[in-house]
Amino acid sequence: MKTKILLISALLFLSSCSFFRVIPESDYSVQSLKQYENDGKYLVLQRGEWAWHIYDLSVGAGIVKARLDAQLGYHLKYIEPKERGLNKFAMRSEPDVINAVHIYTNDTNFNSLDTLIAIPLSSIFEVRSYEYARAASRATKIVPIVVIPIAAFIIIGMVQLSQMSFSMSY
């Protein structure tokens, strides 16, 4: 029986979720956007419902020049996270979610088929980064390990008590 409890706990541990929170970046400049790329961040440019991966940023005189790639892969699932609170993601299969920086623009001088763009910094109205929520993610790994054995112990005890009372009544 202890083996089953340990097995269930291990499975829950492996299937637990990880969480991230959205951090609005209040101070950003052309140089800070370039620094995100230099730091290895995955940059996502968003305009309304459209989103692209941008890379090879170059900067100059309030203009952001970059290459566009429409292939976002699993990042598409995280285009519109909750702004407040925590958001779930699968750490094992999608670890780069917390490495993303989302840049929001209202510039309409490029289309979805362009591969090179140049947008003014003034058209960027928001920048958000995603941050790993360590405490919440850790709790989802620890709680099942503690709760499942206690619940199993209580259930086993109740079953044994009911069997004892059933056998005494006959």
Prediction pTM value = 0.67
Beta strands across the sheet bearing 18-24:
87-89, 18-24, 124-132, 100-105, 42-47, 50-60, 63-69, 116-120
CB–CB of 48/105 below 8 Å?
no
Share of the chain above pLDDT 90, in %: 21
CA 103 to chain centre: 16
- How far apart CA 170 and CA 166 sit, in angstroms, is 7
Mean pLDDT of the chain: 75
Residue 18, both tokens: 């990880």
pLDDT for the residue 137 = 44
pLDDT digits (tens, 9 = 90+) for 78-117: 677 766 767 666 666 566 677 889 999 999 888 777 889 9
